């Protein structure tokens, strides 16, 4: 107990407050904070009092006491008592409240003063002044400080360190975002819409993507999350796109760069054969750009580089992050991505040959821009090319398709990459085939649309529905709010370069995603094999998001490229006809009506749904990441200042209904993602996690560990089931390397 920590003396103890002034220690104040932090949690506040180890002596600071309470709470957090992480989160928020009070002179309760304070410090965009003082005063009454108590320690720390501005409180940040997101709404509904936005965001039903939450309030912030650019085979295009990648990175976006059009190593330059250095030198420049332009100091720039599977430089591309070889041709800080056509996968299955070619020679000799081809068009073009091998086509290499795929798998097991983008699946679902094609995927493999080098760069804004906090009855309303938020974002963002602005204006691409699926399932005592329930959940999300975009088209007009699109033909969900949709649903009438309405009124957004990985933002949201199973029911994550406990939100009540991804057969995950993908018109960030320990997937065979064949079958299944991409392939390493140490990751891949 706190009383026993005092010496048996009547001499008052002086403590130092945050403003530097001394005051007499009041034990009741410490006890009040402890009880506030523990209220409603399944913990005993007395044990936290007893755990206080800071010596209560003259000169001790109130911050020392508070930090020690946080350390005590974290130390008591365990699989048996996971609620202590919420106690530590509340104590961290209390620190924030008190620091802000001291720094600016006031806390919650005067939102107008908070806005003026941030404007004076030039931290807030002056667009907030489009609201009158009366409007801001009314908006301030919506703030509910109690919502700050809902964060566990990991979420509270990440929120304050990454997203809040200096001298800003969480509810002020959310309210300011909501007001700015509604700034262009009609005056008579603007405050009503802003309040709906605020309550959904602040109650963590809708999660704003990092660029929106981090940049919306600041002057001249770019709000888009995802970009894809393409390089043409000339210096002007290459260096222009490197500059564009730098602009994207400066504003906190992730960028995909497709380099498939660039001539291969040994190709011709100005009529000289064997003069080209291929794609690797240009990738290295992108690599160094990502390091140099580090998102305003917040984190390193993030660039995924995509190369089509037929490109002659693919073998070197797969080795560019290996330790051996010429270090001048290495790029360790980009994220490699292979763009794979169905023809290659068919040849992998058939153990047939695959031909690697130079796109420059193919274009010069046969007039084929191979990077633009997909599906049947690619298959026909490829047969034409292979018929000319040794004749018009002299720069080529033939390899065994399955051996090349094994090389890819080996790299994935060793490094987690390359990502795989299934080009034909992606383009079959492209609603805008009439005006272009999709060359590859973005940094997280869930967002993509048409790209034209030097003209259009894919640009997308993201939010996610937090399924842990959204009841079934709320899906319609929350989905409609999410679509409206993102459509408004398009009009207030400042794209970092002209090609991205052109794309924004023409396609109005958005991505409403989901997080917390593992929590949604656990609450309902379901699992990842509950495919009927999963399908219905994502049908609801898909229907209401599409409905909302159609309603916005009624109100504001369809996106510019709508005429001639698959949407305009009554196709939905990424070019699905009604004949494809109706067998999947028990509510055919609403889809039939929606198809008719879309043909009549259009849709506001060319792509509407996309499920991002949400790894960091899920911590702030207090849920499991994205749509994947929880990695573990309880674990410690290593952060800069120590280890932090991580657990799903309903772990105390639903412990047995959380399946741990580290021991779950990944074919179950693939099948579940494939069911979701039927309803998601863009993509899903699908990570695969393979446990290399013996007996994990084979309880009846304790000596059996995962083999290359198992990984191969899972990847083939992902392609066949209609998944559009494979994000990271991660592994859980062997627990014991003393025996069979030669059979590590590389051996497994072999």
Are residues 402 and 338 part of one domain? yes
State yes or no: pLDDT of 750 exceeds 50. no
Task: For residue 674, tell me if it sits in a domain.
Answer: no
| Residue partners of 421: CB distance under 8 A and separation at least 6 | 306, 337, 338, 339, 340, 440, 441, 445, 448, 724, 725
Instruction: Output the pLDDT for position 640.
Output: 66
Are residues 139 and 63 part of one domain? no
Rounded-to-integer distance, Cα 440 and Cα 152, Å: 37
Residue 663 pLDDT level (bands cut at 50, 70, 90): very high
State yes or no: pLDDT of 245 exceeds 60. yes
Q: Are 622 and 468 in contact (CB under 8 A)?
A: yes
State yes or no: pLDDT of 430 exceeds 70. yes
User: Per-residue pLDDT tens for 401-413?
Assistant: 999 999 999 999 9
Least-confidence region, from 64-68, 469-473, 491-495, 625-629: 64-68
Nearest partner of 244 among 285, 298, 297, judged by Cα: 285
Which of the listed residues 644, 659, 674 is the one where a domain comes to its end? 659
Total count of domains within the chain: 4
Respond yes or no: is residue 444 known to be catalytic: yes
State yes or no: pLDDT of 735 exceeds 60. no
Are residues 267 and 412 part of one domain? yes
| Residue partners of 506: CB distance under 8 A and separation at least 6 | 456, 559, 560, 561
Instruction: Output the pLDDT for position 741.
Output: 30
| Residue partners of 685: CB distance under 8 A and separation at least 6 | 444, 445, 446, 611, 612, 613, 626, 725, 727
State yes or no: pLDDT of 2 exceeds 90. no
Instruction: Output the pLDDT for position 301.
Output: 67
Task: For residue 585, tell me if it sits in a domain.
Answer: yes
Are residues 346 and 278 part of one domain? yes
Instruction: Output the pLDDT for position 740.
Output: 31
Are residues 98 and 120 part of one domain? no
Rounded-to-integer distance, Cα 188 and Cα 193, Å: 10
Note every long-range contact of 287-290, with CB atoms under 8 Å and residues 24 or more positions apart, other chains counting: 287/331, 287/332, 287/333, 287/334, 288/333, 289/242, 289/245, 289/246, 289/249, 290/245, 290/249, 290/333, 290/334
State yes or no: pLDDT of 744 exceeds 70. no
Are residues 633 and 556 part of one domain? yes
Instruction: Output the pLDDT for position 280.
Output: 95
Respond yes or no: is residue 446 known to be catalytic: yes
Least-confidence region, from 46-50, 515-519, 670-674: 46-50
Are residues 151 and 125 part of one domain? yes
| Residue partners of 85: CB distance under 8 A and separation at least 6 | 73, 74, 77, 152, 153, 154, 645, 647
Residue 394 pLDDT level (bands cut at 50, 70, 90): very high
Least-confidence region, from 44-58, 232-246, 382-396, 434-448: 44-58
**Exactly one of 251, 258, 432, 442 is catalytic; which is it?**
442
User: Per-residue pLDDT tens for 600-634?
Assistant: 999 999 999 999 999 889 999 999 999 999 999 99
Rounded-to-integer distance, Cα 494 and Cα 152, Å: 34
Are residues 146 and 64 part of one domain? no
Rounded-to-integer distance, Cα 113 and Cα 206, Å: 27
Nearest partner of 254 among 490, 496, 514, judged by Cα: 496
Which of the listed residues 628, 659, 690 is the one where a domain comes to its end? 659
Residue 552 pLDDT level (bands cut at 50, 70, 90): very high
Rounded-to-integer distance, Cα 398 and Cα 402, Å: 12
State yes or no: pLDDT of 165 exceeds 60. yes
Instruction: Output the pLDDT for position 298.
Output: 57
Task: For residue 731, tell me if it sits in a domain.
Answer: no
**Exactly one of 38, 72, 77, 444 is catalytic; which is it?**
444
Question: Residue 482 has which token pair?
Answer: 């999410």
Task: For residue 676, tell me if it sits in a domain.
Answer: no
Respond yes or no: is residue 251 known to be catalytic: no
Are residues 409 and 538 part of one domain? no
CATH number of the domain that 289 lies in? 3.20.70.20
Q: Are 748 and 416 in contact (CB under 8 A)?
A: no
Are residues 133 and 193 part of one domain? yes
Task: For residue 666, tell me if it sits in a domain.
Answer: no
Instruction: Output the pLDDT for position 742.
Output: 29
C-alpha pair distances (Å), 372 with each of 125, 161, 230, 378, 436: 41, 43, 11, 8, 9
Phi and psi, residue 106, nearest 5°: -160, 155
| Residue partners of 663: CB distance under 8 A and separation at least 6 | 691, 696, 697
Are residues 152 and 26 part of one domain? no
Are residues 245 and 132 part of one domain? no
Task: For residue 741, tell me if it sits in a domain.
Answer: no
Give the number of residues written for the chain.
750
Question: Other C-beta atoms within 10 Å of 643: how many?
Answer: 11
Range of the domain at 516: 462-659
What percent of the chain shows pLDDT beyond 90? 78
CB neighbour burial string for 154-182, b if at least 16 within 10 angstroms, e if fewer: bbbbbbbebbbbebbbbbbbbbbbbbbbb
**Exactly one of 446, 456, 539, 687 is catalytic; which is it?**
446
């Amino acid at each position: 107990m706190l009383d026993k920590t005092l010496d048996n003396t009547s001499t008052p103890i002086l403590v130092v407050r945050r403003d530097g002034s001394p005051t007499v220690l009041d034990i009741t104040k410490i006890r009040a904070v402890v009880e506030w932090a523990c209220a409603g949690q399944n913990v005993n506040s007395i044990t936290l009092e007893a755990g206080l180890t800071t010596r209560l002596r003259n000169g001790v600071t109130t911050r020392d006491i508070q930090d020690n309470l946080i350390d005590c709470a974290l130390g008591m957090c365990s699989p048996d008592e996971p609620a202590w992480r919420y106690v530590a989160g509340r104590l961290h928020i209390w620190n924030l409240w008190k620091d802000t009070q001291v720094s600016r002179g006031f806390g919650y309760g005067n939102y107008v003063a908070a806005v003026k304070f941030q404007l004076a410090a030039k931290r807030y965009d002056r667009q907030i002044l489009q609201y009158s003082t009366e409007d801001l005063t009314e908006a301030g009454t919506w703030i509910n400080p109690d919502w700050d108590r809902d964060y566990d320690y990991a979420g509270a720390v990440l929120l304050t360190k990454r997203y809040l501005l200096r001298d800003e409180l969480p509810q002020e940040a959310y309210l300011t975002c909501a007001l700015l997101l509604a700034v262009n709404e009609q005056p008579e509904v603007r405050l009503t819409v802003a309040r709906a936005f605020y309550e959904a965001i602040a109650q963590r039903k809708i999660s704003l993507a990092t660029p929106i939450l981090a940049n919306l309030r600041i002057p001249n912030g770019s709000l888009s999350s995802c970009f894809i650019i393409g390089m043409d085979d000339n210096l002007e295009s290459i260096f222009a796109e490197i500059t564009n990648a730098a602009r994207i990175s400066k504003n906190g976006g992730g960028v995909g760069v497709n380099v498939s059009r660039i001539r291969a190593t040994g190709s011709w330059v100005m009529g000289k054969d064997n003069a080209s250095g291929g794609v690797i030198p240009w990738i290295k420049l992108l690599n160094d750009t990502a390091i140099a332009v580090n998102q305003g100091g917040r984190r390193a720039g993030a660039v995924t580089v995509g190369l089509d599977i037929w490109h002659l430089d693919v073998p070197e591309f797969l080795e560019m992050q290996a330790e051996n070889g010429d270090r001048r041709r290495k790029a360790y800080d980009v994220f490699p991505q292979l763009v794979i056509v169905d023809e290659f996968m068919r040849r992998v299955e058939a153990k047939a040959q695959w031909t690697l070619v130079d796109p420059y020679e193919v274009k010069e000799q046969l007039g084929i821009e191979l990077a633009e081809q997909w599906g049947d068009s690619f298959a026909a073009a490829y047969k034409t090319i292979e018929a000319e091998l040794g004749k018009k086509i002299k720069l080529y290499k033939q390899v065994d398709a399955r051996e090349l795929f094994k090389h890819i798998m080996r790299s994935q097991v060793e490094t987690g990459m390359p990502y795989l983008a299934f080009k034909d699946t992606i383009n079959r679902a492209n609603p805008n085939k009439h005006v272009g094609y999709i060359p590859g995927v973005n940094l997280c493999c869930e967002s993509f649309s048409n790209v034209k080098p030097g003209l259009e760069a894919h640009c997308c804004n993201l939010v996610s529905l937090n399924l842990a906090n959204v009841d079934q009855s709320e899906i319609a309303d929350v989905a409609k709010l999410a679509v409206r938020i993102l459509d408004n974002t398009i009009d207030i963002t400042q794209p970092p370069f002209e090609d991205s602005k052109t794309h924004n204006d023409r396609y109005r691409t958005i991505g409403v995603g989901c997080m917390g699926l593992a929590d949604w399932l656990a609450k309902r005592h379901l699992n990842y094999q509950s495919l009927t329930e999963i399908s219905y959940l994502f049908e609801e999300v898909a229907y209401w998001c599409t409905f909302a975009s159609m309603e916005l088209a009624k109100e504001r007009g369809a996106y510019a490229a709508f005429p001639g699109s698959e949407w305009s033909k009554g196709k939905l969900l990424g070019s699905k006809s009604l004949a494809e949709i109706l067998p999947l649903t028990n509510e055919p009438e609403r889809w039939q009506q929606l198809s008719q309405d879309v043909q009549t009124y259009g849709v506001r957004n060319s792509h509407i749904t996309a499920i991002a990985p949400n790894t960091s933002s899920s911590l702030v949201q207090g849920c499991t990441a994205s749509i994947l199973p929880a990695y573990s029911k309880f674990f410690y994550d290593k952060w800069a200042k120590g280890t932090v406990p991580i657990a799903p939100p309903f772990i105390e009540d639903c412990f047995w209904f959380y399946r741990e991804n580290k021991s779950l057969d990944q074919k179950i995950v693939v099948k579940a993602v494939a069911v979701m993908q039927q309803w998601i018109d863009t993509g899903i960030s699908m990570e695969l996690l393979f446990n290399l320990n013996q007996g994990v997937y084979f309880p009846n065979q304790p000596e059996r560990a995962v083999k290359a064949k198992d990984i191969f079958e899972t990847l083939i299944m992902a392609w066949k089931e209609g998944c559009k991409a494979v994000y990271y392939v991660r592994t859980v390493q062997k627990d014991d390397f003393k025996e069979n140490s030669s059979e590590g990751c590389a051996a497994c891949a072999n």
